[in-house]
């Protein structure tokens, strides 16, 4: 495609192999990634599934959904529900996984808390070494500070930071956020996005509302 990048190009930046459009390296059907979302990692972005999505066991069935136009910095990690242990007994040690006489001793021995799918909105910036915990929903337009640990849902167009991450501030006023969530520029065709980049980057909400 002339004039704008191909969302199915693995390496959209010429001669730079540390950044990929993430959907091109995803093979796991339980991971969904939108167009133009990129992952940048000097150690090899191709290994995202293995290195960045942790404890994602198919028998649990939880999904990781990442929207369009997200920016994912190096070492961002997603902890999935397979990282949880049962907590009802006096120990959290998973005896059953070692088999033999350690397995099948207790009814419900494999039961543990499952917090549901992890959902990342569109146009979300995840800073370096950020950590997203299971079952979290992160709204559109969120910025996550470097090395933040996100343990709960984040409202759209918020900036969060810290461990655990807390909202530092909203990026825009309520009226503007409501308009942006209604406009959903990330769902436009690429030609429309391309022609309105000045308004998007220039925060010209009236121009976007007029489209």
What residues act catalytically? 85
Q: What is the DSSP string of 107-140?
A: TTTT-------EEE-SS-EE-TT-EE-TT-EE-T
Q: How far apart are CA 201 and CA 111, in angstroms?
A: 47
- CA-angle at 52, arms to 169 and 118, nearest 5°: 55
* 151 three-class SS: coil
* 154 three-class SS: strand
Tokens 């704008």 correspond to what residue? 4
Two tokens, residue 155: 């409202």
Inter-residue long-range contacts of 199-204, CB under 8 Å, 24+ positions, other chains counted: 203/172
Q: How far apart are CA 116 and CA 69, in angstroms?
A: 23
Rg (CA), the chain: 20
User: Is 112:133 a contact under the CB 8 Å cutoff?
Assistant: no
């Amino acid at each position: 495609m002339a004039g704008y990048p191909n969302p199915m190009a693995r390496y959209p930046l010429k001669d730079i192999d540390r950044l990929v459009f993430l959907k091109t390296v995803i093979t796991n059907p339980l991971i969904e990634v939108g167009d133009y979302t990129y992952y940048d990692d000097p150690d090899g972005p191709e290994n995202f599934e293995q290195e960045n999505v942790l404890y994602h066991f198919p028998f649990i069935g939880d999904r990781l959904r990442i929207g369009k136009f997200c920016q994912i910095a190096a070492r961002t990690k997603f902890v999935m529900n397979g990282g949880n242990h049962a907590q009802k007994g006096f120990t959290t040690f998973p005896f059953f996984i070692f088999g033999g006489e350690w397995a099948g001793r207790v009814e419900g021995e494999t039961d543990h808390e499952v917090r549901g799918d992890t959902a990342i909105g569109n146009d979300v910036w995840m800073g370096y070494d950020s950590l997203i915990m299971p079952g979290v929903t992160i709204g559109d337009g969120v910025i996550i500070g470097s090395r933040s640990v996100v343990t709960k849902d984040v409202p759209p167009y918020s900036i969060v930071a810290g461990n655990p991450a807390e909202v530092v501030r909203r990026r825009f006023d309520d009226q503007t956020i409501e308009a942006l969530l209604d406009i959903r520029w990330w769902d436009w065709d690429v030609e429309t996005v391309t022609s309105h980049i000045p308004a998007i980057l220039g925060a010209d909400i009236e121009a976007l509302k007029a489209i």
